[in-house]
Structure 1
C-alpha cells in the first residue's frame, strides 16, 4: 500500500453553519448530519463561525483510486496504529481515504506503517 504525506497542518472543527466555508479550498472536508456540521481544513483556513476546534493534525492519503469492493484498508491501517497506541481521524472520499494523526505521533505513525510494508511518499 502506498501512502502520500500531505504537507499541510489541519484542524478538525464543529461549525455553527456552512457560511464561512469555501468548498473550493483544497483539503476541505465538510460533512453535515442531522446533529452537526464538521469541517476538516488547513489550520489557516478555519472559519470564524467555528464552535469548537482541534488543531495540530497532520495527514496522509492512501494513494490511488480505491475500488468500493476493496475490503480492510482502513482496518489494516487502524490496526497497525492501534497496536502502536496512536489514535486517528479518518476521512473517506469517493476515490480514497485520508488519515489524520496528531502532530506529536505523526512521525512514529509513519514509521510503524512503513515497518509493516507500506510505502511512504
Structure 2
C-alpha cells in the first residue's frame, strides 16, 4: 500500500494529557483553543487540552505539541494515520493519536518536536505553523 503525503499544521499551544477518575464530570475548563478531547472509558475520563487551561492540582502529562492532519480523508480511507505515525514510530518517538470526524491529531513530546517535524518532512509530508 502506498502511503499518502500529508499536509500537517503544528498548533501553537502546548497541550496536556490528563487522566481523571471515571466518575468525574466532563470538565468545563478545557477552553476553546487548540485540540480538546474528552473521552470516557470504564477506568478513566481522559482529557487532552491546552496546558494553560488545566487548573492547578490536576495531574497529568504536560509539554505535548500537536500536529493537525489537514489532509481530509474519508473515515474509512486507509493509511492516513499510518503515514503520519510510521516515520515517528520507526525513529523511536512516542505518539499520542486523536481522531475526530474530520481530522487526525498527532501529539508528540515537546522535547522531541524538532526531531518529529524533521522526520515528517523527510517522509514527504508538508508541515506548517498554525
Is this a same-fold pair by TM over 0.5? yes
Which of 71, 95, 106 is the matching residue for 2:78?
Answer: 71
Aligned to 1:6: 11
| Residues 6 and 58 in structure 1, CA contact (< 8 A), matched pair in contact too | yes
Q: Does the residue aligned with 1:65 lie in a helix, a strand or coil?
A: coil
Aligned to 2:101: 94
Is residue 57 from structure 1 mapped to residue 39 from structure 2 by the alignment? no
- The TM-score with structure 1 as length reference comes to 0.89
Name whichever of 71-80 and 93-102 sits farther off. Answer: 71-80
- The TM-score with structure 2 as length reference comes to 0.83
Cα deviation for residue 82 of structure 1 reads 1.3
Which of 109, 117, 120 is the matching residue for 1:113?
Answer: 120
From the superposition, tell whether residues 23 and 41 of structure 1 become closer, same or farther in structure 2 (CA, over 3 Å). Answer: closer
Q: Does the residue aligned with 2:84 lie in a helix, a strand or coil?
A: helix
Q: Please report the RMSD computed on the Cα atoms of aligned residues, expressed in angstroms.
A: 1.8
> Gapped runs of 5+ residues in structure 2?
1-5
Is residue 36 from structure 1 mapped to residue 36 from structure 2 by the alignment? no
Name whichever of 109-118 and 68-77 sits farther off. Answer: 68-77
4+ aligned runs moved over 6 Å, structure 1: none
| Residues 20 and 47 in structure 1, CA contact (< 8 A), matched pair in contact too | no
The number of residue pairs the alignment matches comes to 120
| Residues 64 and 95 in structure 1, CA contact (< 8 A), matched pair in contact too | no
From the superposition, tell whether residues 22 and 83 of structure 1 become closer, same or farther in structure 2 (CA, over 3 Å). Answer: same
Cα deviation for residue 66 of structure 1 reads 2.3
Cα deviation for residue 111 of structure 1 reads 0.6
| Residues 16 and 63 in structure 2, CA contact (< 8 A), matched pair in contact too | yes
Structure 2 distance, partners of 1:24, 1:55, is: 16
